[in-house]
Amino acid sequence: MKFSAEQIAGILNGTVEGNPSAEVSALAKIEEGFEGSLSFLGNPKYEEHIYTTKSSVCIVNNTFTPSNSLPDSLTLVKVDDAYACFAKLLELYDSMTKEEPRIEQPSFISDTATVGESLFLGAHAYLGKNVTVGNDVAIHPNVTISNNVTIGNGTIIYPGATIYRDCVIGANCIIHAGAVIGADGFGFAPDANGEFQKIPQIGNVVLEDNVDIGANSTIDRATMGSTIIRKGAKIDNLVQIGHNVEVGTNSAMAAQVGIAGSCKVGNNVMIGGQVGLAGHLKIGDRAMIAAQSGVPGDVKADTKVMGSPSFDIDDYKKSYIGFRRLPRILTRLQDLETKLKELTKDK
């Protein structure tokens, strides 16, 4: 589908500088642009590429003033926030690729399941007993929805994901391929013989609205009660969240984060990749945890921590400077010891 610069400006409430009839049918990075593509410039460090880009249309901020000649073939669409506007167009493009409602075969829907309007159900998908599915839901091939699961309106579940019994999925969630929601928490107790006895995990997982779960991530069901991922939380690929964890509203965590059981993560928390949280911790609102940190204790609200074990990020950076200097310090110490021995050997 093609859009003119004038149409794009209308969608984004922007203004056109150049040819309003310039057409685009694809999206591209500004440095990789080609004829018929749409790009954006939001970060000044990429400005050099706008003077050589082959894109036909580029979205820029209203404050952008060229410092060199722009290509004759380039038309600008000026907006208040180029990055946000380009994201809006990406969302629009993504919506245009949405699967048409249909139920592919073979697939299985229990006689006791309830499904809403405009359902896309891919081949080999399974909906168990008493499942409730809202309107405009897309369930891709090879997805398993176990008994008593509820799925809200507009949610998308990609191929191979599994949602265990009794879990609740909110509206407009995205669950990517291979994710497992509601597997048993890691609950075992050693008996008198030192053998592990399994503790039944009878709770569930609750994803509130607008939650994203990355590919191959796992969220364990609660021992009792619920493991809860609050509204707007974003979880990257390959994340493990243990039983009875609560993740707050609009918190985000990058790939390979591991959160042990019963942690309470506050609102608007940012957790970098490969962070590990010990069990039963409290992470305060708006805390930030740098990548590869190991967190053994609570983190206060509005603080930044780093390292393993983690501590204040500014203190960590100072300590790291000292750590990097250790080889030179050791060399100087050895030199001093040698000189001291030479000065004292004849005494």
Find residue 109's DSSP bridge partners.
Answer: 127
- Tell me if the bond preceding 106 is cis, omega within 30° of 0: yes
CA 130 to chain CA centroid, Å, is 30
Taking a C-beta distance cutoff of 8 angstroms, is the pair 47, 31 a contact? Answer: no
* Residue 262 backbone dihedrals phi, psi, to 5 degrees: 70, 15
> Which of these, 205, 255, 259, lies nearest to 230 by C-alpha position?
205
Place of tokens 């309470």: 264
The CA-CA-CA angle for residues 45, 51, 55, to 5°, reads 100
- Tell me if the bond preceding 44 is cis, omega within 30° of 0: no
Look up 243 and say whether it is catalytic.
Answer: yes
Residue of 49, 124, 243, 280 with catalytic role? 243
> Which of these, 227, 184, 224, lies nearest to 235 by C-alpha position?
227
Taking a C-beta distance cutoff of 8 angstroms, is the pair 56, 74 a contact? Answer: yes
Q: Per the structure block, which two tokens stand in for 123?
A: 């081949």
| 3-state SS track over 16-82 | EECCCCCEECEECCHHHCCCCEEEEECCHHHHHHHHCCCCCEEEEECCCCCCCCCCCCCEEEEECCH
Q: Which residues of 44-71 are buried (b: 16+ CB within 10 A; e: fewer)?
A: eeeeebbeebbbbbbbbbeebeeeeebb
Residue positions annotated with a catalytic role: 243
